[in-house]
Amino acid sequence: MVEINPVTADIAMALLGEDIPAIGPRLKTRREAVSAVKKYVTDIEGMVKYGSQPYRVMFTRQPDGRYVMVIKGAGITLEILRNLDELTVKRFQRSFKKRLFIITSFFEEGDQLECLALTEGMGAVLYIPW
C-alpha cells in the first residue's frame, strides 16, 4: 500500500458546479496545498494511466473509528485521505451522483477557505464507472 500524503490535517469538502464533490486536506498555506495537490495528481495519474484494469475507490475504517479514502488499481493501493469522519464520508457518498469527483486541497486565505480546484483548477478528476 502506498501513502500519497500522510497529512493528518482536517479534511474539507465542497460541491462544485452541478454537485460535483471536491475533497481534500485543509492546509494552512497555499504553498502546502499546491504541493499536496501536485503529489496527488502525479501518483493518481501514474496508477490510472498505466493500469490496464479499472480502479475502485473505497473507504476503510481506521482503528480510531475514522476512515481512509483508498484507491485500488492493478497491483497498487493508494491511501488518498486519512482521518475522514463519518459525517464527511456520508456527505461525500450522498453527493456522488454523477460518479465523478475531484481530489484537491484547500487552504486558509484570511477568514476564507479556498479550494484549489475552484481557484487554480488544480486537482485530480476521477470518474468511477459502475
Question: Where in the chain are the domains?
Answer: 2-127
pLDDT band at 60 (very low <50, low <70, confident <90, very high): very high
Whole-number Cα distances in Å, 47 to 41, 62, 72, 104, 112: 10, 23, 9, 17, 33
Over range 91-114, report the average pLDDT.
89
Q: Is residue 22 scored above 80 in pLDDT? A: yes
Give pTM, 2 decimals.
Answer: 0.85
Q: What are the backbone angles phi and psi of residue 34, rounded to the nearest 5°?
A: -65, -45
Please give the share of the chain, as a percent, with pLDDT higher than 70. Answer: 88
Over range 58-68, report the average pLDDT.
94
Give CA–CA dist 37/39, Å, rounded: 5
pLDDT at 110: 86
What nine digits make up the cell of 110? 484570511
pLDDT band at 127 (very low <50, low <70, confident <90, very high): confident
